[in-house]
Amino acid sequence: MTQKRLQTQIIHTDYVPPEGFAAFPSAIHHASTVLFKNVAAMRSGDWKEKNAYTYGLHGTPTTFTLEARLAEIEGGTHCLLAPSGLAAIAMCNFALLKSGDDVLLPDNVYSPNRDLAKWMSSDFGITARLYDPMTGAGIAELIQPNTKLIWTEAPGSVSMEVPDLRAICDAAKQKGVLVALDNTWSAGLALRGFDLGVDVVMQALTKYQSGGSDVLMGSLVTRDKLLHERLSMAHMRLGMGVSADDTYLVLRNLPTLKIRFETHDASARKVASWLKARPEISKVLHPAFEDCPGHENWKRDFTGAGGLFSVLFDAKYTEAQTDRFVDSLKLFGIGYSWGGAHSLCIPYRIQAMRKNWKEKGALVRFNIGLEDPDDLIADIESALALM
Ligand SMILES: *Cc1c(COP(=O)(O)O)cnc(C)c1O
């Protein structure tokens, strides 16, 4: 080829960086187009096989690395990334359900998951039914011939009941129904879903894996290649791409995941114990505490606890008073996502959220961050005094 003109040289550089570079961080590979060596390589490339690259959406070394590491943590073999935890839930539903099918969700499921199921019911010809999260083996009676998927969440969002996952998985196995677990609370560390019989483990990486309150991402891990391929088809068809920079941020925080999680756990138990002794609090809904429905299941199946728990205030306090408590906190932000270094506190109108909620009193959820727990306790004590 003749000497390239400047405009072409700007695009087709001859520069190749020296080989032999080594460092701990994963490289951030940005790509829409992925280049093939030649036409034969392009024709034989299979996006489903992660030993080759075909298109940015189907994976880069950066996303493959995060997928592999998440699968390892969870004790699975395959992983897919999605642009949020909710996107991972949607990908799972679109992959495993079709018109005419039935899906079961616990009554305490993450609310947007329930809302998605409602939408699938109204517009996509799928029936979605809610079950009592404490039903355990009773799930068998709810399984119909067209039931294809059972969602589980351990513990459930906001009200924190811990289901009997073994009983649910056993009943599902007998009837050939797949079980998906939202394992976000445990970060894949404190609960081994696959060992209990779960088929798909979903994570909102937005929480502990990111750890920075800055990334939205989700994942689906499996131990079964065929199931992974079904999920992969939905991943590809729905265009579930994730950003290289966000993927890097999660990779960067992964080495400290376990240490952070253990600190969240210890601090949350310390704060929850302190709250339990307070006259303003009627119940502590933390799986490691006996007040929490399903505490026995937590003791049997979990090796630790997350930093997220709820409390019920004595019914004598009005909503205005418990709202004032939350507003008076100085070290706790008011916000939804969690799993980062900063503590959060948020009230929920639980009576309106649950079908059979029998408890009295306002529910307030705490996310215990990485601050010194004694400072958090002092802050809570001051806010209680202002109630
Ligand atoms: C946050 C969360 C999700 C959804 O994650 P996003 O990334 O915010 O979409 C799903 N399940 C649980 C239990 C969560 O806490």
Q: Check residue 1 and give its pLDDT.
A: 65
At which of 192, 223, 256 does a domain end?
256
Say whether pLDDT at 178 is over 70.
yes
Asked whether residue 123 is domain-assigned, the answer is yes
Integer angstrom CA distances of residue 345 from 3, 123, 366: 64, 35, 5
Which of 114, 153, 182, 219 to mutate for ligand 1's pocket (most ligand atoms within 8 Å of CB)? 182
Q: Which two tokens stand for residue 149?
A: 């998927």
> Based on the domain organization, do 263 and 245 belong to the same domain?
no
Per-residue confidence band for 48, with pLDDT thresholds at 50, 70 and 90: confident
> Based on the domain organization, do 224 and 284 belong to the same domain?
no
Q: Considering the chain, what percentage of its residues have pLDDT values greater than 90?
A: 91
Integer angstrom CA distances of residue 248 from 22, 64, 245: 17, 11, 5
How remote is the CA of residue 206 from the centroid of ligand 1, in Å? 7
Lowest mean pLDDT among 43-47, 84-88, 95-99, 250-254: 43-47
Report the DSSP beta bridge partners of residue 308.
Answer: 367
Domain count of the fold of the chain:
2
Give the residue numbers spanning the domain of 326.
Answer: 257-386
How remote is the CA of residue 203 from the centroid of ligand 1, in Å? 8
Which of 84, 86, 108, 336 to mutate for ligand 1's pocket (most ligand atoms within 8 Å of CB)? 86
How remote is the CA of residue 158 from the centroid of ligand 1, in Å? 12
> Based on the domain organization, do 251 and 325 belong to the same domain?
no
The CATH number of the domain holding residue 56 is: 3.40.640.10
How remote is the CA of residue 113 from the centroid of ligand 1, in Å? 9
Which amino acids bring their CB within 6 angstroms of ligand 1? Answer: 84-86, 110, 157, 182, 184, 204, 206-207, 216, 218, 337
Q: pLDDT tens digit string along 183-205?
A: 999 999 999 999 999 999 999 99
Residue that has been written with the tokens 């009941």 in this structure: 161
How remote is the CA of residue 23 from the centroid of ligand 1, in Å? 32
At which of 256, 279, 304 does a domain end?
256
> Based on the domain organization, do 251 and 261 belong to the same domain?
no
Per-residue confidence band for 370, with pLDDT thresholds at 50, 70 and 90: very high
At which of 256, 279, 301 does a domain end?
256
Residue pair 353/112 in contact (Cβ under 8 Å)? The answer is no
Q: Which residue has the higher pLDDT, 17 or 340?
A: 340
Beta-carbon contacts of 109 under 8 Å, excluding residues fewer than 6 positions away, are: 130, 151, 153, 156, 157, 182
Asked whether residue 172 is domain-assigned, the answer is yes
Beta-carbon contacts of 51 under 8 Å, excluding residues fewer than 6 positions away, are: none
Which ligand 1 atom minimizes the distance to the CA of 88? Answer: 9
Counting every residue written for the chain, the total comes to: 387
Which residue, by CA, sits nearest to atom 5 of ligand 1? 85
> Based on the domain organization, do 98 and 221 belong to the same domain?
yes
